[in-house]
């Protein structure tokens, strides 16, 4: 799914209105109807809605939703700024329609502090849409501060009021804190960044049938990894294949006391379908590895830590889990990188070694995939003020070095050498445990060995990792799920994908 800027969303609306054809108020009705249906289906245990409407088209959506929910039998109170009753044209039409219904009470924003928000009340935010470009102040700031102090369920229409769509807010900005955001057609970029995405809660994307012609023909460098993207990448397993068909992976890692990391990476590579899987580790981990991953073949790389990494033809290397950063290991890694030209995956301690000297960055083979978390990224490329700046720097470095950067975060970003960014929306906070990144390394290594392109392996890898974590959380909870539970769910993700892919055929 493409991510569009506010300006391109406005143009998509306009193009749809001109070419469907449909009037702007009819398009508003379509969007509001989808919101009302979702709310009706998901809020059946609540009887009252307090809907806060601004003067623009977001407020017009709120007026229309209020009317539709009232007709479904709910009690509705609408709040407006009675000191300023100048509405946009479409908002005015829906305000007049609302006023014709005697059962809906229209209150002033000033009444919010004395209003009875009982346990059956849902708060709906339709104050400001995506066009907002300034911090909230005055009565709007006061209203949102009051609403944020309430424990009632909160729903934002299109975007939480006060949140910018394309840029990060200041730290002291007042933003409506939604439990759910019902957004139209596209993810907004700010929903996907940790500092401010938290205000959107769970994002529900409602397809309001904007022009597919416009969407397909309008370029962007920002994308969301959804099922459609994945099904265009995923390859069904061939019936007449053999182990050589699906490549050769070598997971390089482990050191005394850190063998578990390379076990996790190797297990995940096997589970993801690598044809031949090797693990290059120190001899102190031999017994652990042979016991826990007997399917993988062992290559000795040292005694208590790795001090040699030998090249192998037609092999994909995933290097880093539990590797350690000692001098001999550092020397072995740098020597290997100086002589190795094919794309590989670098993570964890491999990245920590490279970060010791900026010159080492030039040793990363072109088209390789690196998978840093934010602190590893900072050590590699320098400090940034926020995730927007970090992503901009990642674009620059991916282009300079000719590599793919998998920037791990709540919504992990795959950054390509061409400057494209793919945001992953699978996964959950249950992955915030040691070992989760090692699993991702094994997954991506396995996919690259299976002849997925570097971009495909990175995109499918982060999606698969997150989807397995979602399945694990459903079974065990985010708190209790372990990295090994994520590995165990990889097979169920492939069952899901195979079913989707064969249904598509």
**DSSP assignment of 194-220, as one string?**
HHHHGGG-EEEEE-----HHHHHHS--
Contacts of 137 by beta carbon, 8 Å cutoff, 6+ apart? none
Class of domain 231-504: alpha beta
Residue 425 tokens, joined: 């929306």
Q: Report pLDDT digits (tens) over 420-456.
A: 999 999 999 999 999 999 999 999 999 999 999 999 9
pTM confidence score: 0.95
- Of all residues in the chain, the percent with pLDDT exceeding 90 is 93
Q: What is the mean predicted confidence (pLDDT) over 153-169?
A: 96
Q: What are 290-294's contacts with CB under 8 Å, separation 24+?
A: 292/263, 292/267, 293/263, 293/266, 293/267
Q: Is 76 helix (H, G, I), strand (E, B) or coil?
A: strand
Q: Please state the φ and ψ torsions of residue 413, each to the nearest 5 degrees.
A: -115, 130
Return the CATH class of domain 6-220: alpha beta
Distance of CA 49 to the CA centre of its chain: 30
Tokens (6 digits) for 372: 């840093």
Count of beta carbons in the 10 Å neighbourhood of residue 325: 17
CA distance 466 to 490: 10
Domain ranges of the chain: 6-220, 231-504
pLDDT of residue 363: 98
Q: Are 487 and 468 in contact (CB under 8 A)?
A: yes
User: What does the mean pLDDT of the chain come to?
Assistant: 96
Which pLDDT belongs to residue 246?
A: 82
Cα separation, 198 vs 169, whole angstroms:
12
Q: What is the sign of the dihedral through the CA atoms of 68, 70, 74 and 79?
A: positive
d(CA 261, CA 158): 42
Task: State residue 240's pLDDT score.
Answer: 77
Asked if residues 363 and 337 have their Cβ atoms less than 8 Å apart, the reply is yes
Check whether 404 has a pLDDT greater than 70: yes
**Between β-strands 404-407 and 413-415, what pairing exists: parallel, antiparallel or unpaired?**
antiparallel
- The better pLDDT of the pair 245, 375 is held by 375
| Average pLDDT for 120-137 | 93
pLDDT digits (tens, 9 = 90+) for 265-308: 999 999 999 999 999 999 999 999 999 999 999 999 999 999 99
What is the mean pLDDT of the segment spanning 68-88? 95
Task: Decide if pLDDT at 82 tops 70.
Answer: yes
Dihedral (C-alpha) 249, 250, 254, 260: value to the nearest 10 degrees? 20
Q: What is the pLDDT of residues 243-277, one digit of tens each?
A: 777 889 999 999 999 999 999 999 999 999 999 99
Does residue 109 register a pLDDT over 90?
A: yes
DSSP for residue 2: B
pLDDT at 450: 96
Pairing label, strands 413-415, 421-424: antiparallel
Task: Inform me whether the pLDDT recorded for 44 exceeds 90.
Answer: no
Give the 3-state secondary structure of residue 126: strand
Number of continuous H segments (helices) and E segments (strands) in the chain: 17, 17
Mean pLDDT of 61-67: 98
d(CA 409, CA 392): 15
Please give the average per-residue pLDDT across 407-420, as a whole number. 97
Q: What local confidence, expressed as pLDDT, does residue 504 receive?
A: 58
Check pLDDT > 60 for residue 117: yes
Tracing tokens 């919101």 back to the chain, one arrives at 35
Looking at the predicted structure, is the pLDDT value of residue 505 above 60? Answer: no
**85 pLDDT band (50/70/90 cuts)?**
confident
């Amino acid at each position: 799914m493409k991510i569009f800027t506010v300006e391109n969303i406005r143009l998509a609306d306009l193009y749809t209105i001109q070419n469907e054809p449909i009037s702007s108020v009819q398009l508003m009705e379509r969007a509001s109807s989808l919101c009302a249906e979702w709310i009706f289906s998901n809020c059946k245990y609540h009887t009252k809605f307090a809907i806060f409407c601004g003067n623009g088209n977001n407020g017009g959506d709120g007026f229309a939703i209020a009317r539709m929910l009232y007709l479904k039998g709910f009690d509705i109170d609408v709040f407006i700024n009675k000191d300023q009753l100048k509405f946009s044209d479409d908002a005015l039409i829906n305000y007049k329609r609302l006023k014709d219904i005697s059962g809906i009470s229209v209150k002033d924003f000033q009444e919010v502090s004395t209003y009875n928000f009982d346990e059956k009340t849902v708060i709906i935010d339709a104050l400001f849409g995506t066009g907002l470009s300034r911090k909230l102040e005055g009565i709007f700031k006061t209203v949102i501060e009051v609403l944020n102090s309430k424990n009632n369920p909160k729903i934002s229409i299109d975007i939480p009021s006060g949140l910018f769509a394309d840029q990060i807010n200041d730290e002291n900005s007042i933003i409506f804190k939604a439990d759910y955001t019902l957004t139209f057609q596209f993810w907004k970029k700010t929903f996907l960044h940790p500092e401010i995405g938290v205000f959107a809660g769970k994002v529900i994307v409602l397809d309001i049938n904007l022009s597919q012609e416009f969407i397909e023909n309008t370029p962007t460098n920002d994308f969301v990894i959804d099922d459609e993207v994945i099904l265009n990448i995923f390859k069904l397993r061939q019936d007449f294949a053999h182990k050589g068909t699906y490549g050769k992976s070598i997971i390089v890692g482990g050191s005394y006391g850190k063998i578990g990391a390379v076990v996790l990476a190797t297990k995940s590579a096997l589970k993801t379908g690598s044809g031949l899987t090797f693990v290059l580790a120190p001899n102190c981990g031999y017994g652990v590895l042979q016991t826990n991953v007997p399917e993988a073949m062992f290559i000795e790389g040292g005694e208590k830590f790795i001090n040699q990494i030998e090249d192998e033809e037609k092999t994909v290397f995933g290097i880093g889990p539990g590797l350690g950063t000692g001098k001999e290991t550092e020397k072995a890694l740098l020597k290997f990188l100086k002589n190795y030209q094919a794309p590989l995956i670098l993570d964890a301690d491999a990245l920590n070694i490279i970060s010791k000297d900026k010159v080492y960055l030039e040793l990363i083979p072109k088209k390789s995939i690196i998978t840093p978390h934010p602190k590893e990224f900072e050590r590699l490329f320098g400090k940034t003020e926020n995730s927007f700046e970090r992503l901009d720097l990642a674009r620059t470095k991916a282009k300079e070095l000719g590599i793919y950067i998998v920037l791990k975060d709540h919504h992990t970003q795959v950054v390509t050498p061409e400057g494209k960014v793919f945001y992953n929306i699978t996964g959950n906070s249950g992955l915030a445990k040691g070992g989760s990144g090692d699993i991702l390394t094994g997954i991506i290594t396995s996919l690259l060995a299976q002849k997925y392109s570097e971009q495909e392996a990175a995109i499918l890898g982060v999606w698969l990792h997150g989807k397995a974590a979602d399945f694990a959380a459903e079974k065990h909870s985010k708190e209790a799920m372990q990295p090994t539970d994520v590995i165990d769910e990889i097979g169920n993700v492939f069952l899901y994908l195979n079913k989707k892919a064969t249904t598509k055929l």
